[in-house]
Amino acid sequence: MSTAVAAGTWKLGDREVNRIGYGTMRLTGNGMMGNSDGTPIDRDAAVNLLHSAFEQGVNHIDTAAFYFSPLRSANELINRALSSWYGDVVMVTKVGPARGSSGEWLPMARPDQLRGQVEENLRQLGRDHLDVVNLRRNGPDTASLSEHFGALAELRQAGLVRHLGLSNVRPEHVAEALMIAPVACVQNSYGLDWRRADESGLVDLCLEQGIAFVPYFAVSGLRREASAGQEYDARVRSVAHAHGATPAQVRLAWTLHRGPHVLAIPGTTNPAHLAENVAAGSLGLTEGELALLDKPHEGTA
């Protein structure tokens, strides 16, 4: 069985991780935009799924305190899983967005509210410090993030956080943050169908700075949190057929081929899909296949 080790490694700050990770949002049955709401999987099944991911070499988990539904909290599930796991797992959470106890979205946290969000993640995860905290930016592209990132830098100095990252940003935000504190990772929407991080130069900037680039929605693309549907891109279907792989594996492999600093965090509640996602790290695409996939999409066939 292929493991996450096959994809190679990159560093999140001083923590080396395998490039195939796992995103936990789907475990709650509740999506960020409300378009994936459904019954969450059984709690024990979720813990077993996380253990299976760890056993397959996944040592980078993405989460957030605002990943919750009426019945499940991603952080609580991770806490349970880690309580009976003794391997080294790097937890990456994010702050900035806020939800009330009933799930309603609240305004972006003020800089002075970020400590409370960090402490909430600490309590839920049962830890005395967080490995990586991403500042998730909400707002106009021109808005400065220096006050928010500066507040997180103070928490890093206080020992509550080891490393800082950014989410949903542009290159100028990375430059702004680097003037304040080191940036371990940048997490943006990116995939075969959504390449704004290429157009802006963000992916290349991260490589130049030694920063991990962590795309979300790398498989689902414009469907975002929605469940995977039928593959509409004939090029992806063709490459998948040539390798005896699934379209999702091809999409993940294409993303990983974008650079050695690119990490993947696909989420799933299906053990078989988890194994397929991990195996995508060993899927080698030819130069011809990459060139085919790199062309602008012209429709279905």
Active-site residues: which are they?
Answer: 67
Cα(297)–Cα(195) distance, rounded to whole angstroms?
Answer: 12
Cα(280)–Cα(221) distance, rounded to whole angstroms?
Answer: 17
Q: What angle do CA 22, 26, 30 make, to 5 degrees?
A: 150
Residue type, 198: D
Look-up of token digits 């157009």: 199
Are 262 and 19 in contact by the 8 Å Cβ rule? The answer is yes
Cα(217)–Cα(14) distance, rounded to whole angstroms?
Answer: 26
Cα(151)–Cα(220) distance, rounded to whole angstroms?
Answer: 33
Spatial neighbors of 89 by CB under 8 A, at least 6 apart, are 54, 59, 60, 61, 82
Decide: helix, strand or coil at residue 132: strand
